[in-house]
Amino acid sequence: MRKVAFIFFIFVATFLLASCNSGQSSGIANEDGERLIRVGFSQADFTESDWRIANTESMRQALSRENGFDLIIVDAQNDPNKQLADVANMIEQGVDYIVIATVQEIGWEGVLQQARDAGIPVILVDRVAAVNDDLFVTWVGANFREEGETAVRWLQGFRGYDVRAVHLQGIMGSTAQIGRTGAFEDAAAENGWTIHASMTANWDTIQAKQVMENWLTRFPDINVVYAENDNMADGAIQAIEAAGLTAGGYDGITIISFDANRRYLQLALDTGKINFNVECNPLHGLRVAEIILALERGESVPRINYVDGEAFDWRYLTQEIIDARTY
Ligand code: GYE
């Protein structure tokens, strides 16, 4: 009898060890006893912007227990090294899938190789990682270069060759910053525009205000601010008005922005202070959930999943458009 018990114990222990090591969930189940899909989401930073907050909430809502997921979200706090360690820890935990919004594109080869060796599929959202395609399954996000090109086409139409700009950049090395910056710099070269200065304000309103205050004292002829997100555009507007100048409209310093968060579209409609805003939809959660469920069914998924976006000229905004916005 003792021998049978011993053999049974070995069988159970082996099964549990195998299920943990094979990347399968460790049997997390919901109230109905159905196995939940364990997803580790490494978010660049929880609070860096309105966009980021909406992105995190979208993932939380879509990858819920009710929808069959056990979601672990970790805040990288915009620290690239912490993010690498966070993802390595998710691999150790043996999650079923890893989703990453990278702080920076570089430095991912090692940890994504570990994920592949552990049999854990990686899905990139928003930002990309500069690695071989075989180290991640798919990417969901916006075409940031195209966003920038949309903005500069509008600026060409609105100001022609008369552009004396300053340029507030996102976190350097992030995919959004790279794409939006490239489009603006190329357009400036082609059109003979002046870019007095470019500097990162890390997507942040306060930092953008401080940078803009300095630029206003150095460059009295500024007529355009190219801000790579709404929160930085907000900081620039605050600095412009504190200096007794006008932001936006037909006669003020032209403000270009990105993300098109609802509250900034409302600002544009009510005051004209943001002249043109290029949408970058943060609501990736449902798309990621669909991708994971497709992978669970053994289906293949597209490698690139662009999220669509519009652009808003303050002159044509309506309250109806804004009320219909989802973020
Ligand atoms: O524009 C900014 C956020 O990567 C598109 O990061 C995202 C950018 C977005 O913090 O607000």
Whether residue 136 has its Cβ less than 6 Å from ligand 1: no
| Dist. CA 268 → ligand 1 center (Å) | 19
* Residue 27: pLDDT band with limits 50, 70, 90: low
Predicted TM-score of the model (pTM): 0.89
Q: Which residues contact 212 (CB under 8 A, 6 or more apart)?
A: 166, 168, 225, 235, 236, 238, 239, 240
* Residue 195: pLDDT band with limits 50, 70, 90: very high
> Each residue of 82-91: pLDDT tens digit?
999 999 999 9
Whether residue 147 has its Cβ less than 6 Å from ligand 1: no
DSSP code at position 96:
S
The DSSP string of 248-313 is STTTSBEEEEEE--HHHHHHHHHH--S-EEEE-----HHHHHHHHHHHHTT----SEEEPP--EEE
| Best residue among 124, 259, 263 to mutate for probing ligand 1, ranked by most atoms within 8 Å of CB | 259
What's the distance, Cα to Cα, between the start and end of the chain in Å?
64
Residue nearest atom 5 of ligand 1, based on CA coordinates: 176
> Each residue of 149-184: pLDDT tens digit?
999 999 999 999 999 999 999 999 999 999 999 999
> Each residue of 108-147: pLDDT tens digit?
999 999 999 999 999 999 999 999 999 999 999 999 999 9
Q: Which residues contact 163 (CB under 8 A, 6 or more apart)?
A: 155, 188, 191, 193, 194, 223, 224
pLDDT of residue 308: 87
| Dist. CA 25 → ligand 1 center (Å) | 31
Residue 300 near residue 320 (C-beta atoms within 8 A): no
Residue nearest atom 4 of ligand 1, based on CA coordinates: 176
| Dist. CA 228 → ligand 1 center (Å) | 8
pLDDT of residue 3: 52
> Each residue of 47-70: pLDDT tens digit?
999 999 999 999 999 999 999 999
How far apart CA 225 and CA 172 sit, in angstroms, is 18
How far apart CA 25 and CA 304 sit, in angstroms, is 27
Residue 41 clears pLDDT 90, i.e. is over it: yes
Q: In 3-state terms, what secondary structure has residue 126? A: coil
Whether residue 126 has its Cβ less than 6 Å from ligand 1: yes
- Structural Rg of the chain based on CA atoms: 23
pLDDT of residue 20: 37
